[in-house]
């Protein structure tokens, strides 16, 4: 049994997340965590709301709430939506927690003691009309490298180049749109990343199993010259630049930059979990206290990769303490909406709350994971969504379970049939499924969710092909014992299929298991199809589940396209 620490990139606090955010980190992290648990591993799945920075202040102002109240409310909203989507976090914390204050300030102190922080007087953008300094991301303009016209002052979303606000062409305030901005001086702390280039390169070069997406972004940063980076901002909301209550002289009214404290919240959230449960966070994060045998996996979108391959490792390495650093990063591309970005203001795309108004979570989980943006960007369309639900879930998985359960109820008094032996057809099906189980297990171990979904669907198809060949409804007329053996085999397959589907559609998997195996069966990932095909006790009672997945019709799809936007809407 391994010990696996899994962290998902933190969803930002300023609003409900859209489906692209969900599939970009949180959902695949959950699917892998569920798989790892089913393999018998000890898993710690951590996430939290990312609550600091100007966007939180602006969102709170727009909502007419103090920023602290706004963040507390939105944390509960996001936590609730995660639970409704079946995200099985061991802890969903808050970057504004007292624990994150403590650990962020501790690491700041260690970096300072080790000579990795430098006070620098910077020239920053000040908006005259807004009456405030503008954080990097709240200055927008044209990227000098690729010409993207809405590049932010910290990073261009189009080419991913790291920027300084003064690099932008035609800069303006993202708050008010005002171009009446000027440069003023302000003192800040810079993390001396440039001193850590050799260590970072050696470390990244050692990660030969990382996705090309991740290593190419990380090496691009190093190859272009890794600059020292400011870790403080002129804001009121955030973690003060202090240690044990003592504010650093000259840094009154300043806080740590959100990109400094947000990754540290992975540790902070585990500390929150420990305080709430009596657990030991150190055995997950301190190599001198038990974390040496932990495998640490991070899930994130490609825009977060630089901060997790450079900034956060520099913080941990630079502390001089034995912190656990990431072993594997699952970086994902973006899921777009009809070729463009999801947009709250433009009312384009589906957000988590609206998705659950339309359909249960498992519909969305299946489609998103089966179309995860792994090798490149993917594209949500209502037509593809309809096809995936109808073809995969309703016609294949749902159809198999419901046909078998209904026939068992009608002809065998809703009990697992007794008598009869498995014959050549059952043995042939077991052999085919053994091969596919090995492939599915390999894809899940590799965190290849699209391939896993394809293999899982093929497993379901194999079950339906078996039913067609065995034809128990026809055989029953002449040989009820032989038909019963076929149904017993198929019921066992139904439980197997549910077990394999649990990382993708957990609520449905539980419904199937509860109907076909109410007395309980091994819930772990199967090592053998042959064993799984004999797990139900003859004579045990079953029930017929309600329709697992309702088909989506053209009228529904047309109305949703009209509501949420789409190619023809």
* Residues 234 and 124 sit within 8 Å (Cβ to Cβ): yes
Q: Is 156 annotated as a binding residue?
A: yes
User: Could you give phi then psi for residue 5, rounded to 5 degrees?
Assistant: -100, 125
In the chain, what is the straight-line distance between the N-terminal and C-terminal CA atoms, in Å? 51
Q: Which two three-digit tokens encode residue 153?
A: 């002052």
Tell me, what DSSP letter sits at residue 11?
A: P
For residue 456, tell me if it sits in a domain. Answer: yes
The total of structural domains in the chain comes to 1
For residue 495, tell me if it sits in a domain. Answer: yes
Residue segments in the chain with a per-residue pLDDT below the cut of 50 = 569
- The pLDDT value recorded for residue 358 is 98
Contacts 24+ apart (CB under 8 A), 280-286: 284/3, 284/5, 284/44, 284/324, 285/5, 285/323, 285/324, 286/321, 286/322, 286/323, 286/324
- The pLDDT value recorded for residue 348 is 81
For residue 155, tell me if it sits in a domain. Answer: no
For residue 462, tell me if it sits in a domain. Answer: yes
Half-sphere exposure of 426 (CA within 13 A, CB side): 23
- The pLDDT value recorded for residue 497 is 97
Q: Which two three-digit tokens encode residue 158?
A: 């189009």
Using one digit for the tens of pLDDT, what is the confidence trace for 442-492? Answer: 999 999 999 999 999 999 999 999 999 999 999 999 999 999 999 999 999
Residue 414 lies in domain: 380-532
Q: Is 71 annotated as a binding residue?
A: no
Using one digit for the tens of pLDDT, what is the confidence trace for 179-232? Answer: 998 988 999 999 999 999 999 999 999 999 999 999 999 999 999 999 999 999
Tell me, what DSSP letter sits at residue 517?
A: -
Rg over alpha carbons for the chain, rounded to the nearest Å, is 27
Sheet of 328-332: strands edge to edge?
A: 91-94, 42-49, 3-8, 294-301, 328-332
For residue 354, tell me if it sits in a domain. Answer: no
For residue 444, tell me if it sits in a domain. Answer: yes
Q: Is 47 annotated as a binding residue?
A: no
Domain of residue 436, CATH code: 1.10.730.10
The model's pTM is 0.92
For residue 482, tell me if it sits in a domain. Answer: yes
For residue 492, tell me if it sits in a domain. Answer: yes
Closest CA to 125 of 206, 67, 60, 183: 183
């Amino acid at each position: 049994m391994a010990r696996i620490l899994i962290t998902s990139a933190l969803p930002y606090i300023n609003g409900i997340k859209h489906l692209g955010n969900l599939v970009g980190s949180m959902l695949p992290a959950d699917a892998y965590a569920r798989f790892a648990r089913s393999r018998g591993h000890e898993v710690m799945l951590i996430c939290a709301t990312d609550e600091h920075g100007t966007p939180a202040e602006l969102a709170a102002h727009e909502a007419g709430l103090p920023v602290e109240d706004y963040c507390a409310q939105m944390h509960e909203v996001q936590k609730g939506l995660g639970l409704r989507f079946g995200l099985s976090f061991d802890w969903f914390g808050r970057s504004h927690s007292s624990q994150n204050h403590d650990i962020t300030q501790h690491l700041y102190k260690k970096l300072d003691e080790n000579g990795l922080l430098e006070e620098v007087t910077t020239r920053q953008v000040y908006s005259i009309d807004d009456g405030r300094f503008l954080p990097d991301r709240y200055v927008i303009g044209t990227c000098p490298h690729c010409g993207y016209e809405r590049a932010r002052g910290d990073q261009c979303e189009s080419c991913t180049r790291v920027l300084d606000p003064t690099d932008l062409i035609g800069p303006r305030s993202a708050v008010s749109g005002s171009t009446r901005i000027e440069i003023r001086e302000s003192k800040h702390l810079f993390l001396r990343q440039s001193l850590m280039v050799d260590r970072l390169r050696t470390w990244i070069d050692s990660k030969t199993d990382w996705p090309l997406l991740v290593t190419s972004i990380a090496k691009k940063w190093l190859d272009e010259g890794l600059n020292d980076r400011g870790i403080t901002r002129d804001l009121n909301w955030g973690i003060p630049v202090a240690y044990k209550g003592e504010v650093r002289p000259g840094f009154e009214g300043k806080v740590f930059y959100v990109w400094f404290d947000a990754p540290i919240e992975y540790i902070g959230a585990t500390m929150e979990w420990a305080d709430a449960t009596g657990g030991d966070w150190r055995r997950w994060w301190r190599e001198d206290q038990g974390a040496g045998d932990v495998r640490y996996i991070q899930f994130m979108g490609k825009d977060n990769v630089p901060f997790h391959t450079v900034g956060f490792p520099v913080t941990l390495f630079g502390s001089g303490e034995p912190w656990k650093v990431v072993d594997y990063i699952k970086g994902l591309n973006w899921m777009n909406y009809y070729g463009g970005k999801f947009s709250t203001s433009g009312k384009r795309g589906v957000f988590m709350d609206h998705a659950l108004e339309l359909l249960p979570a498992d519909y969305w989980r299946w489609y998103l994971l089966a179309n995860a943006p792994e090798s490149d960007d993917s594209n949500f369309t209502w037509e593809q969504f309809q096809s995936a639900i109808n073809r995969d879930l309703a016609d294949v998985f749902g159809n198999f379970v419901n046909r078998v359960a209904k026939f068992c109820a009608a002809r065998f008094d809703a009990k697992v049939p007794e008598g009869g032996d498995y014959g050549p057809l059952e043995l042939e099906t077991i052999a085919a499924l053994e091969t596919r189980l090995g492939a599915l297990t390999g894809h899940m171990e590799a965190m290849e969710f699209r391939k896993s979904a394809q293999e899982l669907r093929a497993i379901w198809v194999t079950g339906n092909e078996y039913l067609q060949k065995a034809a128990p409804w026809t055989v029953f007329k002449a040989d009820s014992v032989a038909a019963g053996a076929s149904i017993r085999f198929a019921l066992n397959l139904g439980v197997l299929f549910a077990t394999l589907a649990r990382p993708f559609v957990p609520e449905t998997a539980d419904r199937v298991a509860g109907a076909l195996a109410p007395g309980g069966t091994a819930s772990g990932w199967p090592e053998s199809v042959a064993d799984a095909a004999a797990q139900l006790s003859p004579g045990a009672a079953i029930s017929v589940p309600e329709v697992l997945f309702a088909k989506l019709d053209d009228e529904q799809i047309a109305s949703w396209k009209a509501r949420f936007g789409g190619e023809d809407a």
